[in-house]
Amino acid sequence: MDIPAISQYEQALKFRALRNQVLSSNIANADTPNYKARDVSFADAMGSARHESLNMTKTSELHNNAWGTTSDGTRTSYRIPNQMTLDGNTVEVDVEQAEFAENALQYRASLAFLDGQIRGLRYALKGGD
Amino acid sequence: MSLFKVFDVAGGAMNAQSVRMNVTASNLANAGSVSGDPEKVYRARQPVFSSFNESMAKQTGVAGVRLDGVVESAAPLLQIYQPDNPEADVDGNVYATNVNTVEEMVNMMSASRSYKNNVEMINTTKDLLLQTLSLGR
């Protein structure tokens, strides 16, 4: 049985876990020359869960993807830095840290909502107790 | 579960940063060394980082850090006239190492900050995983 109230938060949790991974790669590569910071967009991930995203049609396998696509279909795109660095690295650690903290908080929020849903269902099953 | 990959990525970065810290320590320890033979003088060393799995990163969003190696600085050595130095060559010159102490101190601070960032990242992710495990209790 697929309970919409639960699967919706499951989607959100999956996205937050993916973004945690992408942002941690950015912070880990803060000192790597020529590394380009990446991110995934929430609107994009949730949009592609509802309808097909607007990808360009590929008529050959040799065509480059306009965006990188993660295994679950979420696009990763490059972040535009506020300031350039000489070694070609576009990671700004303060920005990434803020995003990482925000993402962790959102993950916790989704967990709390999911926990609430489970508690509600359990309450209903027990007939209130 | 993609959260577990964070441990690999951050662990690799911590390893790279600790090598950088070791190289810096070695540079600072040798900052005062001189020699009569320019070939034998200690030259400043710098680690070279590169992104691991860069081609895979488009699919998975994960890119770890790899240490490509340690290179010696090609900056010129300082020639000092010190005829009473036992190391001096026939002309009375000694050659000082090209370690830049200020640069190395900044390097050390940067490495330690980056290391701390990675530790924090692991702690946060560990908390998230533990909270997920206790879901529905």
Average pLDDT over residues B3-18: 91
**Confidence check: pLDDT of A115 > 50:** yes
ipTM: 0.82
Rounded to whole angstroms, the Cα distance separating B6 from A123 reads: 36
**Chain B neighbors of A34, CB-CB under 8 A:** 51
Average pLDDT over residues B52-77: 80
| Per-residue pLDDT, A65 | 54
| Per-residue pLDDT, A53 | 43
| Of B1 and A100, the one with more pLDDT | A100
For chain A, give the percent of residues with pLDDT over 90.
32
Q: Which of B17, B60, B136 sits opposite A71 (nearest CB)?
A: B60
Rounded to whole angstroms, the Cα distance separating B6 from B129 reads: 11
B117-134, pLDDT tens digit by residue? 999 999 999 999 999 998
Q: Are strands B34-35 and B45-52 parallel, antiparallel or unpaired?
A: unpaired
Largest CA distance in chain A: 65
| Distance linking the first and last C-alpha atoms of chain B | 20
Strands (E) in B1-137, as ranges, are 34-35, 45-52, 64-72, 78-81, 93-96
**Confidence check: pLDDT of A98 > 90:** yes
**Chain A neighbors of B115, CB-CB under 8 A:** none
Average pLDDT over residues B52-81: 81
Largest CA distance in chain B: 81
Average pLDDT over residues B68-81: 90
Across chain A, what does the average pLDDT equal?
81
| Of A42 and B64, the one with more pLDDT | B64
Give residue for tokens 């830049």: B100
DSSP annotation of B37: S
Hey, is A86 helix, strand or coil?
A: coil
| Of A68 and A5, the one with more pLDDT | A5
- Distances in Å between the alpha carbon of A83 and those of A29, A59, A90, B27? 17, 37, 8, 30
Helix (H) or strand (E) holding A83: none
**Interchain proximity A29–B13, CB inside 8 Å:** yes
| Per-residue pLDDT, A41 | 82
For chain A, give the percent of residues with pLDDT over 70.
76
Rounded to whole angstroms, the Cα distance separating A32 from A78 reads: 16
CB A24 within 8 A of CB B57: no
**Confidence check: pLDDT of A36 > 70:** yes
| Per-residue pLDDT, B71 | 93
Confidence of residue A1 (pLDDT cuts 50, 70, 90): low
| Per-residue pLDDT, A54 | 47
CB B34 within 8 A of CB B97: yes
Alpha carbon A8 to its chain's center? 14
Closest among B20, B120, B4 to B68, alpha carbons compared:
B20
Hey, is A38 helix, strand or coil?
A: strand
Confidence of residue A44 (pLDDT cuts 50, 70, 90): confident
Q: By mean pLDDT, which of A68-72, B53-57, B128-132 is the weakest? A: A68-72
Average pLDDT over residues B33-53: 89
Alpha carbon A48 to its chain's center? 12
Q: Which of B61, B124, B132 sits opposite A38 (nearest CB)?
A: B61
Interface of B with A (CB under 8 A): 1-3, 5-6, 9-10, 12-13, 16-17, 20, 49-51, 54, 57-65, 110-111, 113-114, 117-118, 121, 124-125, 127-128, 131-132, 135-136
**Interchain proximity B125–A24, CB inside 8 Å:** yes
Interface of A with B (CB under 8 A): 13, 17-18, 20-22, 24-25, 27-35, 38, 40, 65, 68-71, 76, 93, 97, 100-101, 104, 107-108, 111, 114-115, 118-119, 122
